[in-house]
Chain A
């Protein structure tokens, strides 16, 4: 365990955020972000836990917090 946890989003997670508008499936996100499926699935979990992505019927969309994270 580190003495302090880094909460910086990974580059691939940021990339996922940028392509999650409009909402998309895992496969669509992988195609848009040019990432492997395992990276997308792992990144989606990270982004949902951070409150930046919202799932609805297997499609993922930016949350308000995600929009702020992305565009300030």
Chain B
């Protein structure tokens, strides 16, 4: 059981933001899955170093916990490590047996490292035989929208996963940006004005402006909701 992907769609180099995510076909715990199977959904593709390891187990429990929240946002989860599908099956069964948590999403068995290599998930300075803790947020059209890389030692923050998805989807829906530490319900950043006239108007149009180039607004106000 090896993973393959169409040669015609192979990009040169690693994934980049706002470019098409590299396509693949991979053996998973839920059968053979292609990236294109997720067309129309958002996808959070993430790698972990190895099955039956402590930090990864805490992460899988946490990913399983936020899975319903992700699904509410139209996001699917797909895990990956350089382990066999039998190892994955044994591990998720162990998690369910020992921790009473069902892992509801598929995990790629990337024994030949094809998908890991395609996405640059292996950091040889850390480990030549394991994937680091990488996250790729891929939108409904298959475009890479965000990438996060964490080292082997550091478990990911699930609130940040949800916050990131919320921020990206808010940007798409309202054509705005989100400030540092933003959470849904808080004010968003409007694009800087491109003309002096708009800059002048911005200061008196009900926006919360620190200065003409840094203005925030409530989304509800902007949409009339």
Interface residues of A (CB under 8 A from B): 1-2, 10, 12-13, 36-39, 41-43, 45-46
Chosen A-B contacts, 7 in total, with CB atoms closer than 8 Å, are: A37-B39, A38-B33, A38-B76, A39-B30, A41-B36, A42-B30, A42-B32
- Further pairs besides A12-B30, A38-B41, A43-B31: 11, Cβ < 8 Å: A1-B1, A10-B30, A10-B31, A13-B31, A37-B40, A38-B38, A38-B76, A41-B36, A41-B37, A42-B32, A46-B32
When chains A and B are docked, how far (Å) is the Cα of A36 from the Cα of B36? 13
Contacts of A41 in B (CB 8 A): 34, 36-37
Interface residues of B (CB under 8 A from A): 1, 30-34, 36-41, 76, 86
When chains A and B are docked, how far (Å) is the Cα of A32 from the Cα of B37? 18
When chains A and B are docked, how far (Å) is the Cα of A13 from the Cα of B207? 53
Contacts of B30 in A (CB 8 A): 10, 12, 39, 42
A-B contact count (CB 8 A): 33
When chains A and B are docked, how far (Å) is the Cα of A45 from the Cα of B39? 15
Contacts of B34 in A (CB 8 A): 41-42
Partner of B33 from the list A1, A2, A42 (CB cut-off 8 Å) is A42
Chain A to chain B: the 9 pairs with minimum beta-carbon distance, closest first? A38-B37, A41-B37, A38-B38, A42-B33, A42-B37, A42-B31, A37-B40, A46-B31, A10-B31
- For the complex formed, measure the closest distance between the CB of A35 and the CB atoms of chain B, giving whole angstroms: 10
Interface centre among A1, A12, A36, A43 (most CB of B within 10 A): A36
Contacts of B33 in A (CB 8 A): 38, 42
When chains A and B are docked, how far (Å) is the Cα of A2 from the Cα of B34? 22
Contacts of A12 in B (CB 8 A): 30
